[in-house]
Amino acid sequence: MQVCVFENAAQVGKAAATLIAAQLIEKPDSVLGLATGSSPVPCYKNLIEMNRQGVVDFSRMTSYNLDEYVGIPEDHVCSYHRFMNDELFDHVNVNKANTHVPSGLAEDLDAVAAAYDEDIVKAGGIDLQLLGIGRNGHIGFNEPGDKFIPGCHVVELTQSTIEANTRFFDSEADVPRKAISLGISSIMNARKVVLIATGADKAEAVRLSVKGAVDPQVQASILRTHPNVIFLLDKAAASQL
């Protein structure tokens, strides 16, 4: 595991974008695993600029997002489908047919989850997985528990996650209670993992992931067993290391 500490979140974003750009330059038809939330926003802004400058080409890549809320329409202002369009896909030369975000609206979500995993395997697996980390150590929406769940699945969000994500909604009551998330095996099968953590509210989760035991109560701790993982941290997120 490699841990890189930067002065601030802007630098972390630039570093993450640089790694993704390098991936796409080396292998233009890469399969990217993408994340939503606040952490990757500076990274996506940098990628948009690199695409505008002709440095990064998205036309041949395929992407699979980590997760989506259950029960909100794809065009809902808080949906992760909408987030990806607003923050990245609408601004780069991506073929949207090659971008995937799991559906949180289907009647049979277990079937959606199984098909999502199969699609990733058929696409050749994820070359580079971008991750954020929850205050409780979650990756994707794999919440603290007594085991690591391997495949894509429906998750009951914990109170900590609901509170953390209330900032995107009008009120806590509006935050969906369930999500569909890639499982830990799909994340661990990625050939390279890039985790972004910025801000002091991530410091404890980062410390437990980097220095604690591998423990499903801190789902990100499993990344320590990944052969090619890099944590990109700002000083605040690294403050307990």
57 is catalytic: no
Tokens of 1: 């595991």
- Secondary structure element (H or E) that encloses residue 99, with its range: strand 99-100
68, 87, 127, 143: which one is catalytic? 143
CB of 224 to ligand F6R, least distance (A): 17
* Nearer residue to ligand F6R within complex by CB, 60 or 145: 145
46, 51, 65, 67: which one is catalytic? 67
Length of the chain counted residue by residue:
241
Distance CA 230, CA 152 (A): 23
Distance from CA of residue 1 to its chain's centroid? Answer: 18
Distance CA 184, CA 190 (A): 10
* Nearer residue to ligand F6R within complex by CB, 18 or 160: 160
Tokens of 161: 């996650």
138 is catalytic: yes
Residue 99 backbone dihedrals phi, psi, to 5 degrees: -105, 140
136 is catalytic: yes
* Nearer residue to ligand F6R within complex by CB, 62 or 136: 136
Nearest to 199 by CA among 47, 45, 49, 37: 37
Residue located via tokens 């499993």: 222
CB-nearest residue to ligand F6R: 132
Sequence-ordered list of residues with C-beta below 8 angstroms from that of 236, at least 6 positions apart, any chain: 198, 199, 200, 202, 203
Distance from CA of residue 160 to its chain's centroid? Answer: 18
* Nearer residue to ligand F6R within complex by CB, 41 or 55: 41
CB of 42 to ligand F6R, least distance (A): 11
81 is catalytic: no
Q: DSSP secondary structure string, 156-173? A: EPPHHHHHHHGGGSSSGG
CB of 63 to ligand F6R, least distance (A): 12
How many C-beta atoms surround the C-beta of residue 143 within 10 A? 22
136, 153, 165, 226: which one is catalytic? 136
* Nearer residue to ligand F6R within complex by CB, 37 or 176: 37
CB of 166 to ligand F6R, least distance (A): 11
CB of 54 to ligand F6R, least distance (A): 28
Contact set with ligand F6R (CB under 6 A)? 35-39, 66-67, 132-134, 138-141
Q: Which residues are catalytic?
A: 67, 136, 138, 143
